[in-house]
């Protein structure tokens, strides 16, 4: 009985314990280098995320034709680069009278007429009240017409003044702004200057207009005798924009059957559309695409990475496609920040269900790239689909010390079709079968142990009785 118990314990240990082996990669895909370089950039498609079996793409590995490892690093997409685009246009100049009126107000050398949304500006003829026909250089200041600004144009930020002389000067000024030449608001003060130096002239030609200037700017010199001979001025406006350095990958998916999870399908799944993106992707935008017709769909968007997980909310939006004759208007995409493989669209109970035959989902995902050193013997192969704990990739700074200078010289490569390694697939299926049988083996060991203990107790209970019968 003792031998039976020991053998059962050994069986228990052999079922539970497994030695740590070299990871076996279930999938591999050929790498085609289209543009050679010391370092080669390989953009990862969505299928690479789907073949990966470890979190964070830790199981990816690159090998050469001899099966030797090739050093590589993961290159994350760059954030959009903020840019400032300066726009300039000519301003119209009008000289101010030599001095203000008796009441302290300046008579404008122009008149403004408003007809609906249209503003007309007309110059007053010399001799009109406030216009004495003085030389331009002796004017007490200037009236600048910045022009009518369109709704999509940026707000003017400054005036850049040009002059014909003198070579050196320092001229103080103050200015006011107005939209209609009647109501004025103070804008501030400053100085224009020009200084001569051995390295060339030093100038300060800018008049800062503040946050919300009007169309008209009235600039008055502190001392007209020291003022420059203004010849022109430009309206300067800066428009902020962003330059996309690494465009996101566009994923277009059609509805698919929802994979069976551990829990029973909920009632919402009956009217929902389910989409499989092919891998757990970092999604930034979601949009819908219909083939034809006018569609309005208020929806809730849910996501998850595995069929056994619970759905989590990503957001809600009203997606639409409106046909107006030959023109089609579409809703803006829904911005999200999620990592998901499966998406589910739940229509509002008061709205119609989505037609799976005419509906597609369009997702934007900034996918990573791999950068590897072109060493070893080509061709190269990308392997994936192994359960590993430590990533095979090097830190990017270790592989490419001077990334900014080296990036323009990167070679380029593309990934071919994925192939399944049959031997690894069979081993994984066998392992899954063993894992399914493991609970039964454990129960068998426990039952055998219990039976052995019961038998030992029964033998011990019978021993004194037999001894008493043999020795009366």
Question: pLDDT by residue (tens digit) across 294-304?
Answer: 999 999 999 99
pLDDT at 262: 55
pLDDT at 429: 56
Q: What is the pLDDT of residues 79-131, one digit of tens each?
A: 888 878 888 999 998 888 877 766 666 766 766 555 555 556 666 544 433 33
Residue 436 pLDDT more than 80? no
Tell me how far apart the alpha carbons of residues 158 and 91 are, in angstroms, rounded to a whole number: 11
Residue spans of alpha helices (H) in 82-179 = none
Per-residue pLDDT, averaged over 239-265, amounts to: 82
Who has greater pLDDT, 91 or 243?
91
pLDDT at 137: 45
Per-residue pLDDT, averaged over 32-51, amounts to: 95
Per-residue pLDDT, averaged over 425-431, amounts to: 57
Residue 401 pLDDT more than 50? yes
Name the least confident of 28-37, 55-64, 135-144, 319-328.
Answer: 135-144
Residue 136 pLDDT more than 50? no
Per-residue pLDDT, averaged over 301-313, amounts to: 91
Question: At 153, is the pLDDT very low, low, confident or very high (cuts 50, 70, 90)?
Answer: confident
Name the least confident of 148-157, 170-179, 334-343, 432-441.
Answer: 432-441
Chain centre distance of CA 25: 31
Cβ–Cβ < 8 Å for 48, 371:
no
Average pLDDT, whole number, for the chain? 83
Per-residue pLDDT, averaged over 137-160, amounts to: 85
Who has greater pLDDT, 78 or 446?
78
Residue 74 pLDDT more than 70? yes
Does the bond joining 166 to the residue before it have cis omega, within 30 degrees of 0? yes
* C-beta atoms surrounding 357 within 10 Å: 8
Cβ–Cβ < 8 Å for 293, 377:
no
Tell me how far apart the alpha carbons of residues 72 and 44 are, in angstroms, rounded to a whole number: 13
Residue 386 pLDDT more than 90? no
What share of the chain has pLDDT > 70, as a percent? 79
Question: At 445, is the pLDDT very low, low, confident or very high (cuts 50, 70, 90)?
Answer: confident
Name the least confident of 269-273, 384-388, 423-427.
Answer: 423-427
Region(s) of the chain under CATH 2.60.120: 85-242, 249-365
Q: Which residues contact 403 (CB under 8 A, 6 or more apart)?
A: 396, 397
Chain centre distance of CA 231: 47
Q: Which residues contact 187 (CB under 8 A, 6 or more apart)?
A: 174, 175, 176, 177, 209, 210, 213, 217
CATH 2.60.120 fits 249-365, yes or no: yes
Residue 11 pLDDT more than 60? no
Tell me how far apart the alpha carbons of residues 123 and 111 are, in angstroms, rounded to a whole number: 6
Out of 155-164, 261-270, 438-447, give the one with best mean pLDDT: 155-164
pLDDT at 102: 60
Considering the domain 85-242, what is its CATH architecture?
Sandwich (2.60)
pLDDT at 96: 85
Report residue 248 as tokens.
């996101």
Name the least confident of 198-207, 249-258, 410-419.
Answer: 198-207
Per-residue pLDDT, averaged over 333-359, amounts to: 92
Residue 10 pLDDT more than 50? no
Per-residue pLDDT, averaged over 257-268, amounts to: 67
Per-residue pLDDT, averaged over 374-403, amounts to: 91
Q: Which residues contact 237 (CB under 8 A, 6 or more apart)?
A: 86, 87, 88, 153, 154, 155, 156, 157
Tell me how far apart the alpha carbons of residues 251 and 280 are, in angstroms, rounded to a whole number: 12
- Nearest by Cα to 238 from 87, 380, 123: 87
Residue 64 pLDDT more than 70? yes
């Amino acid at each position: 009985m003792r031998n039976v118990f020991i053998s059962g314990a050994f069986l228990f240990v052999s079922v539970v314990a497994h030695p740590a082996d070299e990871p076996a990669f279930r999938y591999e895909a050929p790498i085609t280098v289209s543009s050679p370089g010391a370092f080669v950039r390989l953009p990862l498609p969505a299928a690479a995320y789907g073949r990966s079996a470890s979190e964070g793409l830790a199981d990816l590995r690159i090998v050469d034709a001899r099966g030797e490892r090739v050093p590589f690093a993961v290159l994350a997409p760059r954030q959009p680069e903020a840019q400032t685009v300066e726009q300039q246009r000519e301003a119209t100049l009008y000289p101010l009278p030599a001095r203000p009126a008796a009441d302290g107000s300046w008579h404008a050398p122009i008149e403004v007429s408003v007809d609906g949304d249209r503003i007309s500006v007309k110059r007053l003829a010399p001799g009109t009240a406030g216009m004495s026909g003085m030389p331009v250089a002796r004017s007490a200041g200037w009236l600048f017409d910045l022009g009518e600004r369109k709704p999509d144009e940026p707000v003017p930020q400054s005036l850049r003044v040009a002059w014909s002389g003198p070579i050196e000067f320092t001229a103080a000024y103050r200015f006011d702004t107005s939209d209609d030449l009647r109501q004025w608001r103070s804008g501030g003060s400053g100085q224009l200057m020009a200084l001569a130096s051995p390295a060339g002239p030093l100038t300060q030609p800018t008049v800062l207009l503040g946050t919300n200037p009007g169309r008209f700017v009235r600039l008055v010199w502190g001392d007209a005798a020291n003022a420059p001979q203004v010849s022109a001025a430009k309206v300067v406006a800066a428009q902020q924009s962003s330059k996309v350095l690494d465009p996101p990958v566009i994923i277009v998916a059609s509805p698919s059957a929802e994979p069976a999870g551990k829990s029973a399908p909920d009632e919402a799944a009956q009217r929902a559309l389910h989409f499989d993106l092919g891998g757990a992707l970092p999604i930034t935008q979601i949009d819908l695409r219909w083939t034809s017709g006018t569609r309005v769909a208020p929806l809730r968007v849910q996501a998850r990475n595995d069929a056994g997980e619970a759905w989590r909310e990503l957001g809600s939006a009203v997606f639409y496609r409106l046909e107006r004759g030959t023109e089609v208007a579409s809703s803006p995409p829904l911005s999200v920040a999620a990592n998901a493989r499966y998406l589910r669209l739940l229509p509002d109970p008061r709205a119609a269900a989505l037609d799976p035959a005419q509906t597609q989902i369009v997702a934007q995902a900034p996918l990573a790239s791999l950068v590897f050193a072109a060493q070893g013997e080509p061709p190269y192969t990308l392997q994936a689909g192994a359960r590993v704990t430590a990533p095979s990739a090097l830190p990017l700074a270790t592989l490419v010390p001077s990334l900014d200078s080296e990036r323009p010289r990167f070679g380029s490569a593309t990934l071919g079709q994925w192939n399944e390694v049959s031997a690894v697939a069979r081993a994984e299926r066998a392992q899954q079968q063993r894992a399914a049988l493991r609970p039964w083996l454990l129960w068998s060991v426990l039952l055998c142990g219990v039976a052995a203990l019961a038998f030992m107790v029964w033998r011990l209970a019978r021993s004194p009785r037999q001894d008493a019968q043999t020795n009366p």
